[in-house]
Amino acid sequence: MKVLALFLLSTVALARGNTLRLAEEQLEPENIITNGYLAPEGKAPYIVFLAFRNGNSGAWCGGSIIGNTWVVTASHCSKSFNSVTIYYGTNKRAQGSVTHTVTGKNIINHPSDDIALIRTPHVNYSDRIKQVKLPTNGGNLYVNERTTACGWGQTTSTRTPENLQCVDATVISNSQCARTYGTRTIQNQILCTSTSGGRSICSGDSGGPLVTQSGTILIGISQFVSGRGCTAGDPAGFARVTSFLGWIRDNTGITG
């Protein structure tokens, strides 16, 4: 069996390979959701744009609102930084009807897995700012579930769009995903989706939400794609939210 390398999305490349100059006030990724579609305004009111900073370096990711004072994202986005600005309530990149900046002491990184929580000032819900539901059935594997992932990023090597992009995908079994990446990578806390037609998350989408199309339940947090590239047709990987419900509850008090 040939096992492929994986590529953590956005932040690893940005933080270690391409240090950002904050004076430009531009936090730019390397790529985008591939072969997706432009999200109508208000399609994903639970998504937030996260701009991380540490001195003269920075990176950006997506995140999801899980409570009035909590956002969840990927820890490979947050570990290298000591502050984050959270933009709520719009599809526009690095804009928001509500904006908050918090220090690193408000970021809780999981000790061993790729998930993080951000404690925020209280945010009121509206038609453009809403909490996404967490799963209530920790045993549901969601295989064959139709889902939607959203994020921001470049549509070409030279153009960064201002608006949110989304892609629809189907959850596959971990055994099917492990045929590509191996069982050492695809463990119980990972969820994978197919990327038929090159429709996939890509660098720039780290930490963003994967939700069910039925009921809009947050089941995944964007994490990795194949080292062969986002359009290669290999599965996309997410942190499986059901594996962390106890950890989320213990840190936030949120149960669903």
Q: How confident is the model over 114-168, as pLDDT tens digits?
A: 999 999 999 999 999 999 999 999 999 999 999 999 998 554 444 556 789 999 9
Task: Sketch the domain layout of the chain as residue ranges.
Answer: 133-244
**The pLDDT value given to residue 198:** 85
**The pLDDT value given to residue 3:** 54
Nearest to 220 by CA among 67, 115, 110, 108: 115
The pLDDT tens digits for 3-44 are: 556 667 643 333 322 222 222 233 444 445 777 889 998 999
User: Using an 8 Å Cβ cutoff, are 195 and 177 in contact?
Assistant: no
Write out the DSSP string of 70-128: EEEE-HHHHTT-SEEEEEES-SBTT--SEEEEEEGGGEEE-SSSS-EEEE-------SS
133-244 — its CATH code?
2.40.10.10
Q: Active site includes 110?
A: no
Q: Active site includes 206?
A: yes
Task: List b or e across 130-156, with b for residues whose CB sees 16 or more CB atoms inside 10 angstroms.
Answer: bbbbbbeeeeeebeebebbbbbbbbee
User: Using an 8 Å Cβ cutoff, are 115 and 221 in contact?
Assistant: yes
Active-site entry in 78, 200, 203, 206 = 206
Beta bridge partners of 150: 166
Nearest to 9 by CA among 214, 149, 126: 149
Q: Active site includes 205?
A: no
pTM: 0.88
Active-site entry in 76, 100, 113, 203 = 76
User: Using an 8 Å Cβ cutoff, are 19 and 56 in contact?
Assistant: yes
Active-site entry in 114, 200, 222, 234 = 114
**The pLDDT value given to residue 173:** 98
